[in-house]
Amino acid sequence: MLYAEDLAVGQRFQFGSYVISEEEILRFARQYDPVFIHTDKEAAAKGPFNGLIASGFNTLAIYQRLIVEAVWTQVAGIVGRSFEVRLFRPVRPDTRITGHCEIQSITLRPERRDGVAIFKSELTDESGQTILTLVLDSLIHARPKP
Amino acid sequence: MLYAEDLAVGQRFQFGSYVISEEEILRFARQYDPVFIHTDKEAAAKGPFNGLIASGFNTLAIYQRLIVEAVWTQVAGIVGRSFEVRLFRPVRPDTRITGHCEIQSITLRPERRDGVAIFKSELTDESGQTILTLVLDSLIHARPKP
């Protein structure tokens, strides 16, 4: 396990990948983001994006899946406090999403036995183009005293 | 339909409500946020929150459902560009989530036929306590020329 003391600015975690299907886009959006560009293939084809695109919140949920597998299985996180998301380009069915994150800052708080870590993540598509970036402010456990 | 010219600072939109079930919490987290506090009721009972809590990304998806129904069915949105989320308290099964949003600023861009609107949203539980806040930077269509 990696604790707050084990993290350093510039440390990078590579994400795995996740292919988003048309069926997932439709299912997610019908429940959480019922707007025609996400829920109706035929109407979306005539819409502003010339086809069905994923809800940004679907993409964000996939970001969480990727960062859980790449980071939170090995870093002793306590909780995410806040995050900022920027959306760069639409995600279409069958896109293979991947990405990475990097530690932007780490501040140890010995009196609280934790550290404040800022992670900057980037999701990209197969051609390496940025889909979204996310800056997360999170608390990480300090190494337990022996 | 409300266009950029129809929006004003302080304008408020009341959200409906959404009850999150234990089954939804488990299903969402198994796919997108597979951490035991969200996916394993028994382990979560002995964990830091003394019980199962929803993934923050599940709550965020519910925010989107509520703001789609309250705002995006009547405001001529183009796209959300970025947003910042703060998480205040965990959401447990059967919580009835509601909230509202308010326009913090609106900047008309006549040369682009749109406006930049900042919406600040707050989700609350039955007792009125804040679950999360979200500040959204979005583009809104200007009123079409007659």
**Could you report the predicted ipTM of this complex, rounded to two decimals?**
0.95
* Tokens, residue B11: 């304008």
Q: CA B55, CA B33: separation in Å to the nearest integer?
A: 6
Q: Which pLDDT band holds residue A118 (cuts at 50, 70, 90)?
A: very high
* Contact between B86 and A85 using a beta-carbon 8 Å cutoff: no
Q: CA A18, CA A68: separation in Å to the nearest integer?
A: 13
Mean pLDDT value across residues B10-36: 98
The pLDDT assigned to B146 comes to 84
Model confidence pLDDT, tens digit, residues A48-90 = 999 999 999 999 999 999 999 999 999 999 999 999 999 999 9
Q: Map residue A111 onto helix, strand or coil.
A: helix
Identify whether the C-beta of residue A141 lies closer than 8 Å to the C-beta of residue A75: no
- Is the per-residue pLDDT at B102 higher than 90? yes
- Is the per-residue pLDDT at A146 higher than 90? no
Q: CA A119, CA B48: separation in Å to the nearest integer?
A: 22
Mean pLDDT value across residues B7-33: 98
* Contact between B55 and A64 using a beta-carbon 8 Å cutoff: yes
* Contact between A81 and B87 using a beta-carbon 8 Å cutoff: yes
Give the Å distances, CA to CA, from B6 to A95, B11, B30, B121, B143: 37, 10, 42, 19, 9
Identify whether the C-beta of residue B65 lies closer than 8 Å to the C-beta of residue A34: yes
- How far is the alpha carbon of B129 from chain A, nearest alpha carbon, in Å? 17
Closest CA to A55 of B105, B3, B72, B17: B72
Residue of A nearest to B35 (CA): A68
* Contact between B87 and A85 using a beta-carbon 8 Å cutoff: no
- Is the per-residue pLDDT at A94 higher than 90? yes
Q: CA A26, CA A48: separation in Å to the nearest integer?
A: 17
- Is the per-residue pLDDT at A110 higher than 90? yes
Give the B window 23-62 contacts with A, CB below 8 Å: 28, 31-35, 48, 55-57, 60-62
- Is the per-residue pLDDT at B40 higher than 90? yes
The residue ranges of every structural domain in chain A are 4-141
Q: CA A116, CA A142: separation in Å to the nearest integer?
A: 10
Q: CA B91, CA A17: separation in Å to the nearest integer?
A: 29
Q: Other CB atoms closer than 10 Å to residue B72's CB: what's the count?
A: 17
* Assigned CATH for A4-141: 3.10.129.10
CA contacts within 13 A on the Cβ side of A15: 23
Residue B21 sits at φ, ψ, to 5 deg, of -95, 165
Mean pLDDT value across residues A114-134: 97
Give the A window 96-115 contacts with B, CB below 8 Å: none
**pLDDT cut 70: percent of chain B above it:** 100
Q: CA B107, CA B114: separation in Å to the nearest integer?
A: 9
Mean pLDDT value across residues B80-87: 95
Contacts across the A-B interface (CB distance below 8 Å): 69
Q: CA B79, CA A132: separation in Å to the nearest integer?
A: 14
H or E stretch covering A129 = none
- Position A75, amino acid: V
DSSP assigned state of A89: S
Interface test with A, best of B27, B68, B113, B134 (most A CBs within 10 A): B68
Q: Which pLDDT band holds residue B108 (cuts at 50, 70, 90)?
A: very high
- Is the per-residue pLDDT at B93 higher than 90? yes
CB of A21 less than 8 A from some CB of B? no
pTM, two decimals, is 0.96
Give the Å distances, CA to CA, from B16 to A29, A83, B11: 18, 25, 17
CB contacts, 8 Å: B89 with chain A? none
Contacts of B50 (CB under 8 A, 6+ apart): none
Q: Which pLDDT band holds residue A133 (cuts at 50, 70, 90)?
A: very high
* Contact between A61 and B57 using a beta-carbon 8 Å cutoff: yes
Q: Which pLDDT band holds residue B121 (cuts at 50, 70, 90)?
A: very high
Q: Pairing state of beta strands A77-87 and A130-141?
A: antiparallel
Q: Pairing state of beta strands B77-87 and A77-87?
A: antiparallel
